[in-house]
Amino acid sequence: MTRREFIKTMSVSAFLGFYSGKICSQADIKKRSYKMKVKMINGNGNPMPEGWCRSLYSSDLHFEPIRRKSEIGSDGIVTIETADKDVALHAHILVPDFGFVWVTADNCGEGFSASDAVIDFVADSAKSRLKDVVEITKSGDFSAECLAHKSACEEFLELAKQKPDKSGLFNLKALSHALWAGEYAIVEKSRQKIAKRQTKKDFLFGCNAFSYHGDTPYAYYFREVLNFATLPFYLASLEPEEGKPKYDRIDTILEWCEKVGITPKGHPLWWGHEAGIPKWLAGASWQDAQRHCARVVGRSVERYKGRINIWDVINEAHDWANGLKLTHEQEIEITRICCDTAKSKDPNATIIVNNCCPFGEYSADGKVHLGPVYDKVYTPLAYLDDLMNTGVEFDVVGVQLYFPARDMLSISKLLDEYARFGKPVHITELGVRSAEPERKPSQESEQVRRTQGEWHYPWCEKVQADWMEWFYTMAYAREEIKAITWWDF
């Protein structure tokens, strides 16, 4: 029985009693080692660069990563430990004429099982994406560009079979066309849905309003384009001295929002990141953390009841930002405290649980931004599963999407997983580059580092605009998505 199946069969009290502080304690469990061999070959028939090979990880068929343990052979064969389940494979590689992105091979949706057979990663990635494209294009009208890329993928896959000495090159070309075809297909299908349904009532297009400083061009363009604003409730700035909150800045932005008719949202009421942990909270005991959480969440929601109705009550509590070193049981419980407290102060408030790094690649790495690394690192999806299974009540799933170095169809497939919780989804933070950085910022965050990649062409304002147009089209067409917040400008 898997951990997730176990949770579903237990009562909430038994589930909480079972936790030992790690998501999956395996000290006394003997595990069989499941392995598979994956061929990572470039267009010239040589092994891919070591960094690309080292990026390879496996996941279940719902994007839940398995901790990466691999050996890289000099022949480009990567031996990777996996699990006794059907898995997908993911690697961050350069795809000619498409970009430097994460690519997925999943055996045409069926998944791979551990065996001695060698999987050709590039070839199977192309075949897997081609299968997706065939399914999407079964109904509806699609552009000549979409269908041409689909046909080119099929032709290059056939050439790879006919000319094994050039199979590396032809498979990469097939993959490039498959990714293009997939993006055209999902964006064009989205446009068809929008044309049929027309506009969404009350859809929120937003940005953070942290840069509002009076009647400036910023304020003008904000109110002309957007109808939704994120206001800063970072505890380290809001309450640098315990018990003495400073709401002046929030009040100024909120008054402007009310004046010009922009819907405000408070973000984030609780965050285990440096920006959410003032000095007086650092190192707090579990008892003190609960007490302070209820106090600060309740205070802000009560203060702005009737004025701010939407709240990111907790941010990145899936191990990524765990500066108070909570166990998984405690991360679930602190989320419950945030949600229950906010609702008790304003029953009409919309409560969002916000999540970052939505593909969860950091779990495969066994890394987090801040806090302990457990045997099984929480991903957003695993965290949300446990919130649902333990009866934590919230209204909206929040998803951050800084360029995830994935193609549009992969992003759409991931959003399917966040939709399965049956709740509205807000894209709470979104951003891609407008230019290639001249040099790596010295304080570049780990989350931003994980967005490094290239989409179609080197980043510039036009590429940024193209990405935004395609993403917003795809997201707007999805029934569950009710808001999109571009992080800042």
Mean local confidence (pLDDT), 182-188: 99
CA 424 to chain centre: 16
For 53-65, what is each residue's pLDDT tens digit? 999 999 999 999 9
Domain range summary for the chain, segments of one domain joined by +: 3-25+33-194, 201-486
The pLDDT value given to residue 22: 39
The pLDDT value given to residue 403: 85
Residue 421 clears pLDDT 90, i.e. is over it:
yes
For 12-40, what is each residue's pLDDT tens digit? 343 344 343 333 334 433 456 689 999 99
Alpha helices in 163-247 (DSSP H): 167-197, 217-225, 235-238
Burial class (CB in 10 A: 0-12, 13-18, 19+), 202: exposed
Residue 449 clears pLDDT 90, i.e. is over it:
no
The pLDDT value given to residue 1: 42
The pLDDT value given to residue 155: 99
Specify the CATH superfamily of domain 201-486. Answer: Glycosidases (3.20.20.80)
The pLDDT value given to residue 437: 73
Contacts 24+ apart (CB under 8 A), 443-450: 445/369, 446/362, 446/367, 446/369, 447/320, 447/356, 447/357, 447/369, 447/402, 448/402, 450/357, 450/361, 450/362, 450/405
Beta bridge pairs of residue 94: 100
**Residue 146 is which amino acid?**
C
**Residue 245 is which amino acid?**
P
Mean local confidence (pLDDT), 449-476: 90
The pLDDT value given to residue 20: 37
Backbone angles phi, psi at 324, to 5 degrees: -90, 5
Q: What is the share, in percent, of the chain residues with pLDDT greater than 70?
A: 90
Per-residue buried b or exposed e for 227-244, using 16+ beta carbons within 10 Å of the residue's own CB:
bbbbbbbbbbebbeeeee
Q: Cα(221)–Cα(252) distance, rounded to whole angstroms?
A: 18
For 430-439, what is each residue's pLDDT tens digit? 999 898 876 6
For 248-293, what is each residue's pLDDT tens digit? 999 999 999 999 999 999 999 999 999 999 999 999 999 999 999 9
For 294-303, what is each residue's pLDDT tens digit? 999 999 999 9
For 93-107, what is each residue's pLDDT tens digit? 999 999 999 999 999
Q: Cα(168)–Cα(166) distance, rounded to whole angstroms?
A: 6
Are 448 and 369 a contacting pair, CB within 8 Å?
no
The pLDDT value given to residue 115: 81
Mean local confidence (pLDDT), 321-341: 97
13: helix, strand or coil: helix
Backbone angles phi, psi at 85, to 5 degrees: -160, 165
For 145-157, what is each residue's pLDDT tens digit? 999 999 999 999 9
- The beta-strand segments (E) located in 179-331 are 204-208, 228-232, 263-267, 310-315
The pLDDT value given to residue 27: 40
The pLDDT value given to residue 32: 61
Cα atoms in the 13 Å half-sphere on the side-chain side of 196: 10
Specify the DSSP element, H or E, that contains 303.
helix 286-303
Residue 450 clears pLDDT 70, i.e. is over it:
no
**Left (φ > 0), alpha (ψ -120 to 50) or beta: where does 382 sit?**
alpha
User: pTM value?
Assistant: 0.90
Residue 440 clears pLDDT 60, i.e. is over it:
no
Mean local confidence (pLDDT), 307-329: 97
The pLDDT value given to residue 137: 98
